[in-house]
Structure 1
């Protein structure tokens, strides 16, 4: 029996990655997407993810998944964290590096949280994935968020942006979280 959910996103790059990761496994999980206006709340990554998926499930009346990505700098006690999208819009790739001037620590954690709701009124379940790395001067294509500035420890010296999509998808924070979601859905 095929499992399916609506991935709530308007980001074509995220949708492409999610579909590629799901297709690389042996599961029969199907994902469609829909852009839904959900509130951008402040709080921890987990609080934001739960609120967004509850709102989306109510609006769609169906099983759905939301995704939140955070980029957490060690030197800044986890900031910008879930606010990375706003930081990128305000200061860009170079600004992310400038935030670390004066610190001897460029370590960062890429954190992805998928929130799954079986439908309206159900309690959301969270699936998190982490990839450790460092913030570096931007290298590679700039088409996908902060990828040019994040050099994963497992990336052989490449930034996410410099990596082939297939290689990134094997080690990314998104892959790790989505794999947990896929295992959960396959067991239902």
Structure 2
């Protein structure tokens, strides 16, 4: 029997990636829009986990606790900025989702900073609500360095500034396939896949 899993997002790329990684399970994966959820969720938590749980729980309750709900919260953590932008990554410059202004602010704050201060990591926390008292939590991350200028054609978020030494490229220079196979979200999803496998085995 195919079960519905609702992702607390309308981000097409995110949902496509989730579908690919969880393809082996009998799940129909839907966005909020596809299942008729049109609500604003104030992401005012102080941690990625708080925000992810709030999104998942809000949608889970809105749907009458009838479907599994998955939510994530992700962000960039920069050593020389005491962990900023952190949970404020999407609205670092004040306007939600303005990638250009966010990147400009990040570069400005890191001007004349040394190499160690530019060390950074992308972190993704995921919460999957399976039932009233059944919740899975996983986290994935990848380490990198903030460049002094944008590099690459992929202009999404901080990707043009996030350099991954092992690949000698920024996220902005990588193909979508490569980035999606090594990203913080991909790593969180792979952990989620393992935890889901354990959950399903217990239910059989």
TM range (shorter): 0.7 to 0.9
Q: TM-score, normalised by structure 1?
A: 0.86
SS in 1 for 2:169: coil
Q: Considering only aligned residues, what root-mean-square deviation do their CA atoms show, in Å?
A: 2.2
2:98 counterpart of 1:89: yes
Matching residue of 1:76: 81
Contact 2:18 2:189 in 1 (8 A): yes
**Cα distance change, pair 103–69 in 1 and its aligned pair in 2 (3 A):** same
Aligned equivalent of 1:166, options 157, 161, 177: 177
Q: How does 1:146-161 map to 2 (within 5 A)?
A: 146-154=158-166, 156-161=167-172
When structure 1 is superposed on structure 2, of 84-93 and 125-134 the one drifting more is 84-93
Matching residue of 2:192: 181
How big is each residue's C-alpha offset from its partner over 1:132-179, in whole Å with a ceiling of 9 and x where there is no partner?
00111211234422211111233x211112111111122110100011
2:103 counterpart of 1:103: no
Residue 27 of structure 1, CA deviation:
4.7
Greater relative contact order (CA < 8 Å, ≥ 6 in sequence): 1
Matching residue of 1:32: 30
Contact 1:13 1:144 in 2 (8 A): no
SS in 2 for 1:103: coil
Q: Which has the larger radius of gyration?
A: 2
Q: Which runs of 5+ in 1 are unaligned?
A: none
When structure 1 is superposed on structure 2, of 136-145 and 159-168 the one drifting more is 136-145
**Separation (CA, whole Å) in 1 of partners of 2:146 and 2:28:** 34
Contact 1:94 1:138 in 2 (8 A): no
2:14 counterpart of 1:11: no
Query: How many aligned residue pairs are there?
Result: 184
